[in-house]
Chain A
Amino acid sequence: MDLKAASDEKLLWALQQKNIEALEEFYDRHQGIALAVAYRVLEDRELAEDVLQEAFLAVWRQAGSFNPERGRVRAWFLSIVRHRAIDITRGRSFAKERISLDEIAFEPEHPDAWQELSAKLDGEQIKGAVATLPSVQREAIMLAYFGGLTHREIADRTGVPLGTVKGRMRLALLKLRSLLAEMDTGGSY
């Protein structure tokens, strides 16, 4: 198999066969954005690299737990990284447990059309879409996604009711989705 040309799904299959070159290729492909996510959550370079080490090894050992019908490999892997980084911020230590992919591997089904769209989007388009969100909505989803805060913690920090925080999150994700879908059909944002 030409690993460089292989899809992420094929790489995971190779990982299940314990192909270490496949792990190297998987690392080269995803470490940049994965480290960015971990660092954004933890704001500590060393901890972020520790999370990455755990996450890559978890995938190496449990590659078979990914269900291709439930979304993209990259999104699945980044959710592993993010969940582990958030666990650290919420006080769960490395020593206590290895990453279990059982909970994280439960990815709600993504509509196929959305998968196709999200694969075509680049960073600039996503940054642009997020920048157009109302600031309070952007703040809510950023505090949750990268800050690792629960909705209650966000409500306490921002001084707004819990229901308002939940509403902002919902509206932000709905708006993000429609903005990006509009981009795909050629609309301006």
Chain B
Amino acid sequence: MAATFALAAQPSEERVAYLNHLELCDVCRRLAGQFQAAADLLPGVLEEQAGSSTLKGRILAEAAADLTRQDQRAPGSLREERLPRKWRWPGWISPRPAAVMAALILALVSVATWNVILWGQVNQRDQTLVAQDRLLGAIAAGARISHLAGTEAAPQASATLIQEPGTGSAFLLVKNLPPLPESQQYQVWRITGEGPVPAGIFSSTDSAEQLEILSADFFESDAIGVSVEPRGGSSQPTGAIVLLGNF
């Protein structure tokens, strides 16, 4: 596997699964590194080629355009715009105090909104910390760890299932799942001899990584899958399967 990985000769599902494995296996990572170092020499058999006369210019121009776009977005570079002549303050409001009042109201609303956001973030962070503590405890206690690979529907995605024996619950750490519209959620399935059984639902987030706690016992299951379902879930998988893993 290490040699085919180093040469990028694996199909994408296999590569994703192997990358997940490398994150956890020091021995395989060292071996893959040795093979990668040998493979990295292969460009040395080629003769260098000169790019066209316009290639360098195109790259530098695009990079310069990036800088210009960044400058235009920076605060302090906003241009003040004059109100159009036809618009006038109502005669009973003097512009200056009205502007001050508007700024004050805006500031109060912003502070209130920011406080709500911060409180939400603190709550979420606390919940995340509790979940992470439990996860670490489960791993330390010898939890079973299984890897899920992204399918063609989500080749960049991957996940790790950490199962706490005897608790009826498990942790699912997912990475790089595509964002979903509000009308959809991801649903977890444990695959048994009788077919897929619902094992939890979660929404996509803006983060590349998310940790979900599942109230399901996977120890008697043959495999685990994650699919895209209507919000609230389904009794059987109806949408694209994005992650799969065997036990």
Q: Which residues of A contact B (CB under 8 A)?
A: 18, 20, 23-24, 27, 31-33, 35-37, 39-40, 45, 49, 52-53, 56-57, 60-61, 71-72, 75, 78-79, 82-83, 86, 100, 102-103, 106-111, 114-115, 118, 121-123, 125-127, 130, 141-142, 144-146, 148-152, 154, 166, 169-170, 172-174, 176-177, 180
Contacts and interface: CB of A to CB of B under 8 A. Distances in A.
A126 B48 contact: no
Given A108-B29, A176-B41, A27 B48 contact: no
Contacts of A60: 59, 63, 66
Interface of B: 1-4, 6-11, 19, 22, 29-30, 32-52, 55-56, 58-60, 62-64, 66-67, 70, 156, 176, 208
Nearest to A176: B38
B39 A141 contact: yes
A108 B63 contact: no
8 contacts: A24-B56, A32-B49, A33-B43, A35-B48, A60-B66, A118-B41, A145-B39, A172-B3
A187 to B, nearest CB: 17
State the majority secondary structure of interface residues on A.
Answer: helix
8 interchain residue pairs of minimum CB distance: A32-B48, A126-B44, A108-B33, A144-B9, A144-B7, A170-B3, A36-B46, A75-B40
B19 A106 contact: yes
A103 B8 CA distance: 12
Contact of A18 (B40, B55, B58, B67): B67
Nearest to B2: A170
State the majority secondary structure of interface residues on B.
Answer: helix
Given A36-B46, A123-B44, A57 B62 contact: yes
B37 A115 contact: yes
Contacts of A118: 37, 40-41
Nearest to A166: B4
Contacts of B40: 71-72, 75, 78-79, 118
Given A36-B49, A173-B6, A177-B34, A141 B66 contact: no
B8 A106 contact: no
Contacts of B176: 102
B52 A49 contact: yes
A111 to B, nearest CB: 7
